[in-house]
């Protein structure tokens, strides 16, 4: 099934067929949709979350299993599954109905104090990293191998991306940061991590962080992938406050810089190869900086460290 075939009409048919007690509730698109899943509002209090491809469908069972375990232990709301849908109406994968979380994605919302927002997010992550990870899901290739070794991505994508940015960014400096990241590894017990920490997955209400959504990439492993938001979303004082509020060693921050570089470089590479707007992906993800600025932010931070 193509992503553009996942419409509000299809979602309404699925609800009417499998959950007739909600059949009269209106189904409406959301302002900013994700890539792995297509989301719709169901009435005023619920949302429909439909995986947009076969590779993303396994996250449904993971979220149904673990979100109720994590939610009571975290300082901000996260999605709450209330029903599990099955394939039907031509839609081939399992899907979820969750409680609707009010708020606006951080990439679209005014934030009253970005440094305070950074501290709130760091507090959320510190709590998440401290939770009991026994039996939690390991890093999965289908979900970007978040929580796994960064060396997973030391393949043809990075050299191709470096060739594409040559002349615009110091390629030698980028390669140095990448190699510094690959030279380290997580040598502690695995911890819970979000896995896809971008502005589009952070909700804002009244100018403050109000909720954290989309745990499809969550896993138990190395949390350094969560740190990429330091360079994609924060800057200056807010980046410093975010870092100071997290008790992580320099090696983990080095890998975090590597994850940020990887995200920026593949965004540039895929846009160039597809002939699309290089900044469109950054806007979809809720980044506050374009991919080239993210690379420059990482290089500057590497020099300071």
Instruction: Just give the CATH number of 105-304.
Output: 3.90.1200.10
Q: Which fold has domain 3-101?
A: Phosphorylase Kinase; domain 1 (3.30.200)
Model confidence, pTM? 0.94
Residue pLDDT tens, the chain, 305 long: 889 999 999 999 999 999 999 999 999 999 878 778 999 999 999 999 999 999 899 999 999 999 999 999 999 999 999 999 999 999 999 999 999 999 999 999 999 999 999 999 999 999 999 999 999 999 987 667 899 999 888 777 788 888 888 888 899 999 999 999 999 999 999 999 999 999 999 999 999 999 999 999 999 999 999 999 999 999 999 999 999 999 899 999 999 999 999 999 989 988 887 888 878 888 888 999 999 999 999 999 999 98
Break the chain into its structural domains and give their ranges.
3-101, 105-304
* DSSP letter string, the chain: --GGG--HHHHHHHHHHH-GGGTTS-EEE-SS--SSEEEEEETTTEEEEEESSGGGTHHHHHHHHHHHHHGGGSSS----EEEEE-SBTTB-S-EEEEE---SEETTTS--S-HHHHHHHHHHHHHHHHTS--TTPPPP-GGGTTTTS-GGGG-STHHHHHHHHHBTTB-HHHHHHHHHHHHT----S--EEE-S---GGGEEEETTEEEEE---TT-EEE-GGGGGGHHHHT--HHHHHHHHHTS---HHHHHHHHHHHHHHHHHHHHHHHHHT--TTHHHHHHT-SS-HHHHHHHHHHHHHH-
């Amino acid at each position: 099934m193509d992503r553009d075939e996942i419409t509000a009409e299809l979602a309404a048919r699925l609800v009417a067929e499998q959950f007739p007690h909600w059949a009269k509730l209106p189904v409406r698109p959301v302002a900013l949709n994700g890539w792995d899943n297509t989301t719709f509002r169901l009435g005023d209090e619920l949302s429909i979350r439909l995986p947009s491809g076969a590779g993303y469908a396994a996250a449904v069972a993971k979220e149904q299993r673990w979100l109720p375990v994590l939610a009571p232990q975290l300082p901000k709301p996260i999605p709450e599954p209330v029903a599990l849908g099955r394939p039907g109406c031509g839609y081939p994968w399992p899907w979820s109905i969750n409680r609707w979380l009010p708020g606006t994605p951080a990439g679209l919302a005014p934030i009253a104090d970005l440094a305070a927002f950074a501290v709130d997010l760091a507090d959320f992550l510190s709590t998440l990293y401290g939770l009991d990870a026994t039996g939690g899901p390991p890093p999965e290739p289908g979900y970007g191998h978040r929580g796994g070794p960064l060396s997973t991505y030391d393949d043809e994508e990075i050299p191709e991306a470096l060739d594409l940015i040559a002349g615009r960014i110091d390629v030698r400096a980028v390669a140095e940061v990448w190699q510094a990241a690959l030279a380290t590894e997580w040598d502690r017990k695995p911890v819970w991590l979000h896995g896809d920490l971008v502005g589009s997955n952070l909700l804002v209400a009244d100018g403050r962080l109000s909720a954290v959504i989309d745990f499809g990439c969550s896993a138990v492993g190395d949390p350094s992938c969560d740190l990429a938001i330091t360079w994609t979303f924060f800057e200056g004082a807010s980046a410093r406050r975010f870092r100071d509020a997290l008790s992580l060693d320099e090696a983990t921050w080095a890998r975090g810089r590597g994850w940020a570089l990887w995200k920026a470089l593949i965004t540039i590479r895929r846009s160039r190869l597809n002939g699309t707007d290089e900044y469109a992906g950054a806007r979809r993800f809720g980044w506050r900086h374009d991919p080239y600025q993210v690379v420059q932010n990482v290089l500057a931070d590497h020099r300071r460290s």
